[in-house]
Copies of this chain bind each other. A is one copy, B any other.
Amino acid sequence: MAEEIHVGVLMFTAYRSAENRIIDAARRAGYTDLTVPQARIAARIGPHGTRLTELAEQAQVAKQTATVLVDRLERAGYVERVVDPTDARARLVRIAARGAEVIAVARAEEARIEAEWSEHLGRRRMQQLREALTMLREITDPYAAPD
C-alpha cells in the first residue's frame, strides 16, 4: 500500500508545508493580516504588474474571487491598481511598498525551504524534481505562460 499515494497528494503535502512556513514567516515579521489565498494571488504578480484575469487564471480561481482578494490586498497596502495603458478596460495590479517588504521576507523563507529540501534530497534528485515539475507545467498550467 506504500506506493499507492497519488503523486498529487504528495505535492499537496509539500506545497502546503512551504506555504504555511512562508505565511508564518510573514506573520512573525509583523504582517499579521495577509491570508493564504491573498498571498497566492500576490505571489503571481509580475514585475510590471499583472491583470486581474491573468492572476485569477494562474491561481485557478474565478475572477470574482480574485477581485475580492485584490480588494483586500489593496486596502492593506500590499498592492495597487493602475490603469493598463494598452487597454482602457483593464487595470494592472502592481506590488505596492508594503507588498515589496513582505515579498522580501517571503523570498528569504522560500530560499531557506529550497535549501532544506535540496539538502534532504541531494542536489541530483532536487534537480530531477525541478525538471519533472517544470515539464509537468506544460500540461497542467491552464495559463501556460511562455515565460
Binding site for B on A (CB under 8 A): 1-2, 5-20, 40, 43, 60, 110, 113-114, 116-117, 120-121, 125-126, 128-142, 147
Interface on chain A toward B: helix, strand, loop, or mixed SS?
Answer: helix
Cβ of A114 to closest chain B Cβ, rounded Å: 6
Q: A11-B11, A17-B142, A121-B136 are in contact. List 10 more A-B contacts (CB 8 A).
A: A5-B134, A7-B130, A10-B134, A12-B19, A17-B141, A120-B136, A126-B132, A129-B129, A129-B136, A132-B132
In the complex, are the beta carbons of A9 and B43 less than 8 A apart?
yes
Query: This chain: how many copies in the complex?
Result: 2
In the complex, are the beta carbons of B60 and A140 less than 8 A apart?
no
In the complex, are the beta carbons of B15 and A117 less than 8 A apart?
no
Q: A7-B117, A113-B8, A139-B116 are in contact. Are A14 and B133 (CB under 8 A)?
A: yes
Residues of B within 8 A of A135 (CB): 120-121, 125
Cβ of A33 to closest chain B Cβ, rounded Å: 18
In the complex, are the beta carbons of B110 and A8 less than 8 A apart?
yes
